[in-house]
Structure 1
Amino acid sequence: MKPLGRHVLAEIYGCEYDILNDIGKVEKIMVNAALEAGAEVREFVFHKFSPQGVSGVVVISESHLAIHTWPELGYAAVDVFTCGDKVDPWDACNFLTEQFCAKHLTAKETKRGILPDIPHQEAVNL
């Protein structure tokens, strides 16, 4: 059966400190990553930590993009979850890697929502 969604967990290394520690830059890059992947952005929220780091989420019609940065380590933990066929989570991950001026990306994809071949009502009652 075809999965409902694709979930990419990305480890992005060797990023520029000044980008990962700037809430405005991280927010803009994350929103643009969603758009680059073909997603429809609904809303977003980001938080700047002291002394450093940014966390945030971009809610898209197709699910979400989330990030937490460790600027002092040049590292960003990212997850991109998309549902349907319209949006490719890898496009978002590759865009983020480029925009963060990263040296290395390690990522893996998990298929989400591979439902058993049983009627929906039975699945709910299990």
Structure 2
Amino acid sequence: MQYQGRSKRSKTGARLRPQSKKKKSKTGRSPTETTVGDQRFRTVDARGDNEKVRALSTNVANVATDDGAVRATIEDVAENGANPNYARRNIITKGAVIETDAGRARVTSRPGQDGQVNAVLVE
């Protein structure tokens, strides 16, 4: 984990005195980078008495259609606006276009934060 607090130096390079001590809520983590594959999850501590479920890899998506939501199997990542390399590496993030057995769909959830893939069909 990396501390995400204020820099010790100002823009001009002068030393800044600390505003407060380091706090656990100010730490950050590396991105999860959910891939297409057998379902694997990891739970991490969140702020308060909460937990986040992170999807390390998944092969199912809840796809919203005109008839209602359907559980579809993810086959491939067609395109990912976040990073062109993510599509090649089959990494799913919010906004990625995935190929499912129900058709092409755009991801509306954040699998690395929510632990599930929700998507809407793309015409």
**TM-score if structure 2 supplies the norm length?**
0.25
Q: Looking at both structures, which has the greater relative contact order when contacts are Cα pairs under 8 Å and sequence separation is at least 6?
A: 1
Pick the structure with greater CA Rg: 2
**TM-score if structure 1 supplies the norm length?**
0.25
